[in-house]
Amino acid sequence: MNKKPSEISTIVIINKNQQHTQSLQIKTKHINRIRHYAWSVLSVLVVLVGLVIYLRAQNFRQEQEKQQLLSQIVKLKGVIPVVSTDIKAGSAQSYIQAIEGKLKTINDYLRRRGLKGFSTKGLGGDANAEGKKLSDKEVYSLYNDYLNRLMGTIAFTPMGYPRISSFTSFFGYRNDPFADGHAEFHPGIDFKGKRGDEVKCTASGKVVFAGWSGGYGNCIRIAHINNFETVYGHLSRIKVKVGQEVNVGDEIGLVGSTGHSTGAHLHYEVRKNGRPINPVNFLTLNK
Protein backbone atom coordinates (compact mmCIF):
# COMPACT_ATOMS: atom_id res chain seq x y z
CA MET A 1 0.00 0.00 0.00
CA ASN A 2 1.39 3.43 -0.97
CA LYS A 3 1.72 5.96 1.80
CA LYS A 4 -0.29 9.13 1.68
CA PRO A 5 1.62 12.19 0.50
CA SER A 6 1.21 13.83 3.93
CA GLU A 7 3.07 10.94 5.57
CA ILE A 8 6.24 11.56 3.57
CA SER A 9 8.39 14.70 3.57
CA THR A 10 11.09 15.46 1.03
CA ILE A 11 14.34 17.16 2.06
CA VAL A 12 16.32 18.77 -0.75
CA ILE A 13 20.10 19.14 -0.26
CA ILE A 14 21.82 21.78 -2.44
CA ASN A 15 25.61 22.03 -2.62
CA LYS A 16 27.52 25.32 -2.56
CA ASN A 17 27.72 25.85 -6.34
CA GLN A 18 24.05 24.84 -6.65
CA GLN A 19 24.84 22.59 -9.59
CA HIS A 20 23.79 19.36 -7.98
CA THR A 21 20.93 18.60 -5.66
CA GLN A 22 19.95 15.54 -3.68
CA SER A 23 16.64 14.69 -2.14
CA LEU A 24 15.76 12.48 0.80
CA GLN A 25 12.33 11.18 1.66
CA ILE A 26 11.67 10.82 5.37
CA LYS A 27 8.54 10.00 7.25
CA THR A 28 6.95 13.24 8.44
CA LYS A 29 6.44 11.87 11.93
CA HIS A 30 10.21 11.50 12.34
CA ILE A 31 10.77 15.14 11.43
CA ASN A 32 8.13 16.19 13.93
CA ARG A 33 9.83 14.09 16.58
CA ILE A 34 13.39 15.23 15.88
CA ARG A 35 13.32 17.56 18.89
CA HIS A 36 12.37 14.65 21.15
CA TYR A 37 15.14 12.53 19.65
CA ALA A 38 17.67 15.29 20.24
CA TRP A 39 16.59 15.71 23.87
CA SER A 40 16.81 11.94 24.43
CA VAL A 41 20.36 11.79 23.05
CA LEU A 42 21.37 14.84 25.09
CA SER A 43 19.91 13.33 28.26
CA VAL A 44 21.87 10.12 27.77
CA LEU A 45 25.09 12.09 27.22
CA VAL A 46 24.49 14.16 30.37
CA VAL A 47 23.92 11.01 32.43
CA LEU A 48 27.07 9.37 31.07
CA VAL A 49 29.20 12.47 31.71
CA GLY A 50 27.76 12.74 35.23
CA LEU A 51 28.53 9.08 35.93
CA VAL A 52 32.12 9.45 34.75
CA ILE A 53 32.61 12.53 36.94
CA TYR A 54 31.06 10.75 39.94
CA LEU A 55 33.23 7.64 39.56
CA ARG A 56 36.38 9.72 39.18
CA ALA A 57 35.48 11.67 42.32
CA GLN A 58 34.82 8.41 44.18
CA ASN A 59 38.14 7.01 43.02
CA PHE A 60 40.00 10.12 44.16
CA ARG A 61 38.26 10.14 47.54
CA GLN A 62 38.95 6.45 48.17
CA GLU A 63 42.62 6.85 47.27
CA GLN A 64 42.87 9.73 49.73
CA GLU A 65 41.24 7.70 52.50
CA LYS A 66 43.36 4.69 51.69
CA GLN A 67 46.48 6.71 52.38
CA GLN A 68 45.11 8.53 55.42
CA LEU A 69 46.11 6.02 58.08
CA LEU A 70 49.54 5.34 56.59
CA SER A 71 50.30 9.05 56.26
CA GLN A 72 49.34 9.62 59.89
CA ILE A 73 51.64 6.82 60.98
CA VAL A 74 54.50 8.11 58.85
CA LYS A 75 54.05 11.54 60.45
CA LEU A 76 54.09 9.96 63.88
CA LYS A 77 57.35 8.22 63.14
CA GLY A 78 58.76 11.50 61.94
CA VAL A 79 58.09 13.31 65.22
CA ILE A 80 60.01 10.78 67.30
CA PRO A 81 63.25 12.63 68.00
CA VAL A 82 66.71 11.14 68.10
CA VAL A 83 67.45 10.35 71.73
CA SER A 84 70.25 12.39 73.23
CA THR A 85 71.38 13.50 76.66
CA ASP A 86 69.96 16.97 75.95
CA ILE A 87 66.32 15.77 76.00
CA LYS A 88 64.70 16.44 79.34
CA ALA A 89 62.27 13.97 80.88
CA GLY A 90 59.36 16.42 80.63
CA SER A 91 60.03 17.02 76.95
CA ALA A 92 60.24 13.29 76.26
CA GLN A 93 56.95 12.67 78.01
CA SER A 94 55.25 15.42 76.00
CA TYR A 95 56.34 13.70 72.79
CA ILE A 96 55.03 10.38 74.10
CA GLN A 97 51.67 11.86 75.11
CA ALA A 98 51.23 13.49 71.69
CA ILE A 99 52.01 10.22 69.96
CA GLU A 100 49.63 8.30 72.23
CA GLY A 101 46.79 10.69 71.44
CA LYS A 102 47.20 10.21 67.69
CA LEU A 103 47.54 6.45 68.06
CA LYS A 104 44.27 6.32 69.97
CA THR A 105 42.62 8.22 67.10
CA ILE A 106 43.96 5.65 64.62
CA ASN A 107 42.76 2.81 66.85
CA ASP A 108 39.33 4.43 66.95
CA TYR A 109 39.24 4.39 63.13
CA LEU A 110 40.08 0.69 63.19
CA ARG A 111 37.57 -0.31 65.86
CA ARG A 112 34.70 1.55 64.21
CA ARG A 113 35.38 -0.46 61.06
CA GLY A 114 35.19 -3.76 62.94
CA LEU A 115 38.96 -4.15 63.28
CA LYS A 116 40.83 -4.91 66.46
CA GLY A 117 42.87 -1.92 67.58
CA PHE A 118 46.24 -2.01 69.30
CA SER A 119 46.64 -1.41 73.01
CA THR A 120 49.08 1.33 74.01
CA LYS A 121 49.46 0.00 77.53
CA GLY A 122 52.90 -1.13 78.51
CA LEU A 123 54.69 1.06 75.96
CA GLY A 124 56.25 3.19 78.65
CA GLY A 125 54.00 6.23 78.49
CA ASP A 126 51.49 5.16 81.11
CA ALA A 127 53.46 6.58 84.04
CA ASN A 128 53.14 3.23 85.84
CA ALA A 129 55.81 1.52 87.88
CA GLU A 130 57.11 -0.56 84.99
CA GLY A 131 57.08 2.35 82.59
CA LYS A 132 59.15 4.51 84.91
CA LYS A 133 61.94 1.94 84.81
CA LEU A 134 62.42 2.42 81.05
CA SER A 135 64.91 4.87 79.62
CA ASP A 136 63.85 7.39 76.99
CA LYS A 137 65.67 5.36 74.35
CA GLU A 138 63.77 2.22 75.31
CA VAL A 139 60.45 4.07 75.21
CA TYR A 140 61.14 5.44 71.73
CA SER A 141 62.19 2.00 70.53
CA LEU A 142 58.95 0.47 71.81
CA TYR A 143 56.87 3.12 70.05
CA ASN A 144 58.81 2.65 66.83
CA ASP A 145 58.09 -1.10 66.92
CA TYR A 146 54.46 -0.35 67.68
CA LEU A 147 54.12 1.92 64.63
CA ASN A 148 55.77 -0.67 62.40
CA ARG A 149 53.27 -3.31 63.56
CA LEU A 150 50.39 -0.92 63.00
CA MET A 151 51.53 -0.15 59.45
CA GLY A 152 51.77 -3.87 58.76
CA THR A 153 48.28 -4.46 60.09
CA ILE A 154 46.82 -1.75 57.85
CA ALA A 155 48.61 -3.13 54.78
CA PHE A 156 47.35 -6.67 55.42
CA THR A 157 43.77 -5.80 56.45
CA PRO A 158 41.07 -5.53 53.73
CA MET A 159 40.36 -1.86 53.03
CA GLY A 160 38.86 0.00 50.09
CA TYR A 161 37.40 -1.08 46.77
CA PRO A 162 38.44 -4.06 44.62
CA ARG A 163 37.17 -1.93 41.71
CA ILE A 164 35.68 1.58 41.61
CA SER A 165 32.07 1.30 40.44
CA SER A 166 28.50 1.37 41.69
CA PHE A 167 26.89 -1.54 43.56
CA THR A 168 24.37 -3.87 41.96
CA SER A 169 23.63 -5.91 45.10
CA PHE A 170 24.34 -5.56 48.82
CA PHE A 171 25.15 -7.84 51.76
CA GLY A 172 22.22 -9.67 53.38
CA TYR A 173 18.96 -11.23 52.31
CA ARG A 174 17.59 -10.44 48.86
CA ASN A 175 15.30 -11.86 46.18
CA ASP A 176 16.85 -14.85 44.44
CA PRO A 177 17.53 -13.69 40.84
CA PHE A 178 17.12 -17.30 39.65
CA ALA A 179 13.96 -18.17 41.61
CA ASP A 180 11.32 -15.46 41.61
CA GLY A 181 9.55 -15.10 44.95
CA HIS A 182 12.32 -16.79 46.94
CA ALA A 183 14.81 -15.11 49.28
CA GLU A 184 18.50 -15.92 49.55
CA PHE A 185 21.35 -14.72 51.75
CA HIS A 186 23.95 -12.77 49.76
CA PRO A 187 27.29 -13.04 51.63
CA GLY A 188 28.98 -10.12 49.89
CA ILE A 189 28.43 -7.12 47.64
CA ASP A 190 28.39 -6.95 43.84
CA PHE A 191 30.23 -4.29 41.86
CA LYS A 192 29.00 -3.24 38.44
CA GLY A 193 31.40 -3.91 35.59
CA LYS A 194 31.88 -5.27 32.12
CA ARG A 195 33.79 -8.31 31.01
CA GLY A 196 37.53 -7.66 31.13
CA ASP A 197 37.52 -4.87 33.75
CA GLU A 198 40.42 -5.27 36.18
CA VAL A 199 39.95 -6.54 39.74
CA LYS A 200 42.42 -5.55 42.47
CA CYS A 201 43.07 -7.12 45.86
CA THR A 202 42.18 -4.94 48.84
CA ALA A 203 44.93 -6.15 51.18
CA SER A 204 48.28 -7.90 51.07
CA GLY A 205 48.19 -11.64 51.69
CA LYS A 206 48.54 -15.12 50.20
CA VAL A 207 46.33 -16.70 47.53
CA VAL A 208 44.75 -19.83 49.07
CA PHE A 209 42.38 -20.65 46.21
CA ALA A 210 42.31 -19.78 42.51
CA GLY A 211 39.98 -21.73 40.25
CA TRP A 212 36.41 -22.85 39.67
CA SER A 213 34.17 -22.85 42.76
CA GLY A 214 30.57 -23.82 41.96
CA GLY A 215 28.22 -20.83 41.93
CA TYR A 216 31.17 -18.45 42.32
CA GLY A 217 32.50 -19.50 38.93
CA ASN A 218 36.13 -18.49 38.50
CA CYS A 219 37.02 -17.47 42.04
CA ILE A 220 39.99 -16.21 44.08
CA ARG A 221 40.37 -16.39 47.86
CA ILE A 222 43.16 -14.47 49.60
CA ALA A 223 44.12 -15.01 53.25
CA HIS A 224 45.22 -12.01 55.35
CA ILE A 225 46.33 -11.49 58.94
CA ASN A 226 43.95 -11.62 61.93
CA ASN A 227 41.99 -14.45 60.25
CA PHE A 228 40.62 -12.19 57.49
CA GLU A 229 39.95 -13.51 54.02
CA THR A 230 38.69 -11.82 50.84
CA VAL A 231 36.78 -13.55 48.03
CA TYR A 232 36.46 -12.42 44.39
CA GLY A 233 33.90 -14.28 42.26
CA HIS A 234 32.44 -14.64 38.72
CA LEU A 235 35.77 -13.71 37.13
CA SER A 236 36.37 -14.09 33.41
CA ARG A 237 40.08 -14.61 34.03
CA ILE A 238 42.29 -15.43 37.01
CA LYS A 239 45.77 -13.85 37.05
CA VAL A 240 47.22 -15.38 40.25
CA LYS A 241 48.13 -18.86 41.49
CA VAL A 242 47.66 -20.66 44.79
CA GLY A 243 50.52 -19.86 47.17
CA GLN A 244 51.34 -16.55 45.46
CA GLU A 245 52.01 -13.56 47.71
CA VAL A 246 50.07 -10.46 46.59
CA ASN A 247 50.23 -6.83 47.67
CA VAL A 248 47.36 -4.42 48.16
CA GLY A 249 46.33 -2.91 44.81
CA ASP A 250 47.71 -5.77 42.66
CA GLU A 251 45.57 -6.82 39.69
CA ILE A 252 44.47 -10.39 40.43
CA GLY A 253 41.77 -11.04 37.81
CA LEU A 254 39.20 -9.69 35.37
CA VAL A 255 35.45 -9.12 35.74
CA GLY A 256 33.22 -11.75 34.16
CA SER A 257 29.94 -13.64 34.49
CA THR A 258 31.01 -17.20 35.30
CA GLY A 259 29.13 -19.47 37.67
CA HIS A 260 25.76 -18.53 39.18
CA SER A 261 25.53 -15.11 37.51
CA THR A 262 22.99 -13.15 35.45
CA GLY A 263 25.51 -10.74 33.92
CA ALA A 264 29.04 -9.37 34.14
CA HIS A 265 29.89 -8.09 37.63
CA LEU A 266 32.33 -8.66 40.51
CA HIS A 267 31.17 -10.52 43.62
CA TYR A 268 33.29 -9.47 46.63
CA GLU A 269 33.33 -10.87 50.17
CA VAL A 270 35.20 -10.18 53.40
CA ARG A 271 35.33 -13.09 55.84
CA LYS A 272 36.45 -13.20 59.47
CA ASN A 273 37.26 -16.64 60.89
CA GLY A 274 35.57 -18.16 57.85
CA ARG A 275 32.28 -16.31 58.29
CA PRO A 276 31.16 -13.55 55.88
CA ILE A 277 30.83 -10.02 57.30
CA ASN A 278 29.52 -6.90 55.61
CA PRO A 279 32.23 -5.61 53.22
CA VAL A 280 30.67 -2.12 53.19
CA ASN A 281 32.24 -1.53 56.65
CA PHE A 282 35.68 -1.93 55.06
CA LEU A 283 35.26 0.30 52.01
CA THR A 284 35.95 3.63 53.71
CA LEU A 285 37.61 4.88 56.88
CA ASN A 286 34.74 7.25 57.65
CA LYS A 287 32.57 4.72 59.48
User: In the predicted model, what is the mean pLDDT of the chain?
Assistant: 75
pLDDT of residue 120: 58
Q: Which of 86-90, 251-255, 270-274 has the lowest mean pLDDT?
A: 86-90
> Is pLDDT of 104 > 90?
no
DSSP classification of residue 114? T
pLDDT grade for 87, boundaries at 50, 70 and 90: very low
> Is pLDDT of 86 > 60?
no
CA-CA distance, 234 to 246, in Å (whole number)?
Answer: 20
More confident residue, 106 or 190: 190
pLDDT of residue 85: 43
Q: How far is CA 269 from the centre of its chain?
A: 12
CATH of domain 167-282: 2.70.70.10
pLDDT grade for 83, boundaries at 50, 70 and 90: very low
Q: Which of 137-141, 203-207, 256-260 has the lowest mean pLDDT?
A: 137-141
Q: Which residues are CB-neighbours of 213 under 8 A, at least 6 positions away? A: 219, 233, 259
CA-CA distance, 65 to 104, in Å (whole number)?
Answer: 18
More confident residue, 3 or 66: 66
Q: What is the CB-side half-sphere exposure of residue 73 using CA atoms within 13 A?
A: 21
Parallel, antiparallel or unpaired: strands 167-169 and 172-175: unpaired
More confident residue, 269 or 65: 269
pLDDT grade for 46, boundaries at 50, 70 and 90: confident
Task: List Cα–Cα distances, 207 to 216, 246, 257, 270, in angstroms.
Answer: 16, 7, 21, 14
Highest average pLDDT, of 79-83, 136-140, 221-225, 282-286, comes from 221-225
Average pLDDT rounded to a whole number, residues 169-191: 78
pLDDT grade for 165, boundaries at 50, 70 and 90: confident
DSSP classification of residue 79? H
pLDDT grade for 175, boundaries at 50, 70 and 90: confident
Average pLDDT rounded to a whole number, residues 37-46: 80
More confident residue, 81 or 21: 21
Whether the Cβ atoms of residue 196 and residue 258 lie closer than 8 Å to each other: no
Domain residue ranges of the chain, discontinuous segments joined by +: 5-32, 58-155, 167-282
CA-CA distance, 43 to 183, in Å (whole number)?
Answer: 36
